[in-house]
Each structure stands twice: as structure tokens, then as C-alpha cells.
Amino acid sequence: MLLKDKVAVVTGGAKGIGRGIGLKFASEGCSVVVADILTSEGNQTVKELSEKGPEAMFVKCDHTDSRQVQDMAKKVISKYGKIDILVNNAGGFGPPNPFLNVTEEEWDKRIDLNLKGVFLCVKAVAPYMMEKRSGRIINISSIAAITAGPADIEYGSAKGGVLSLTINLCLELAPYNITVNAILPGGILTDMFRASSGVTLGENEEIDTVLHERMAKAVPLGRIGTPEDIAGAALFFASELSSFVTGDRIIVGGGLPLMAPH
């Protein structure tokens, strides 16, 4: 097992990509802490994680609130005595919105959700890793950080900030044997992706089928991504397989942003 006896905190771990990462980590022997605002979904995911691997834990936490984040880290340390891995996955985007229509409130909300939260979580967890002189930090950015597309502009800007933060943290934390890397997902089939896709369904159409058909035309590998695809990259960064990799990024987009052959 690649993560035997390790402890990982996964923000936004109740659903979607975070849940997929948690399940992968648990199957590799890791105790997973699901930090999320979704209590019901979080507890259900913890149940699934505990069936697949070591005992898991749910902590209700708004990752944009510094006090809640600090309390979350303390609860994890109280239970497990350490935090080996931090996955900054929590975030979100909405339907496409022209730049001039974006309000200041919407801008601040997206930046807080996708960038400030990463800052707060690393600030809370890094001291424990520094004390142990060991750790893995994995930041979930987005392909929207490096290419223009249908995602809202404030989301792409925040995710670009996550890349910059990753590189700068890498240099500061390297002396403590803490690696910091980023994953850039492309289109991944999650509830959030479905809700924000803007797909208009015809009679008898199902959104997953429509999304698969749409992505098959755009993605070189001919399909939409899954949380399991992101989980594989996260496992690489979390394990000793990547012990000499830091300040780097992996695009998990089936070949995007390259164009699919026609």
C-alpha cells in the first residue's frame, strides 16, 4: 500500500473529485479526514471510506473561514497526532458570465472559495508538517488557469492564483521536506460540472449522455473525465513515487488543452 499509516485531509471531500481522491487514498491504507460544509454527504463518504480502508473522520469546515480551518486542523491533530497530506480540493464555479457582468461580490466570492481557502488551509496545516519535517500538499487548480474557456473568468483567475501559490510555497517549504504540487483537471463529471454546464436538454435526453457526447468531440482521448482520473494523479503526488517532485503540475484533461483530432 502506497499510503499505509498516513493521514490525509481532503477539503471538499464529501462529493465529486474530493470523494474520489478520498476513496483512492483509503484503498492505499490512508486515514482520510473529510473537511466539508456538507454534513450529510460528508458523513456518508466517511462511512464509505471506513469500509474501504482505515477509520475516517468528518469535520464540518468552511475552508474560507480562518477560525474554522484552524479548529479543523487541531481536531485532526488531536485524533491522529499528525497530518501527512493536505489536498486543497474545495472550490467552485458557476455558469459562464461575461467579464463586464461580473459583480464585485461575485469576484470576491470566487476568489475566497478557490484561492483564499487554499491559503488558509496551508497556513493552518503547514506548521504541523514543518514540525515533523515531512508532508505532501496537493492543490487542485484547473485547466481554466492556463486557457480561456467556458468557465467563469473569476474562477480561472483564482485557479491561476493557486498555481502561483503552489510555486511559491514549494520554495518556502522545501527545506522542511514538504512537497507542494498542483493538479489541473479538465472537464470532470461531477454534480458541479453538470449544474454549471449550461446544457439544454431535449426530450428524452440525459445530461450525462449529452456531456459525454460533447466532451468526446473536444477531448483528444474522446471522453469526459472522472473523479477517479484525478485521484490517480493525487495518489502520485501524495506517495513516495513523487518524493523528488515539487513545484510541479499535472494536467488531467485527456489531452486538453490540445484540440481533438477530426
Annotated catalytic residues are 155
| Helix ranges (DSSP H) in the chain | 16-27, 39-52, 66-80, 104-111, 117-132, 153-173, 191-196, 207-218, 227-238
Rounded Cα–Cα distance for residues 57 and 59 (Å)? 7
Residue whose cell numbers read 488531536: 78
Closest CA to 42 of 78, 72, 79, 83: 72
Q: Report cis status (omega within 30 of 0) of the bond before 257.
A: yes
**Number of residues written out for the chain:** 262
Closest CA to 19 of 140, 186, 161: 140
Tally the C-alpha atoms within 13 A of residue 166's C-alpha that lie toward its C-beta.
29
Do the Cβ atoms of 170 and 179 come closer than 8 Å? yes
Residue whose cell numbers read 488531467: 252
Contacts of 243 (CB under 8 A, 6+ apart): 179
Other CB atoms within 10 Å distance of the CB of residue 21: 30
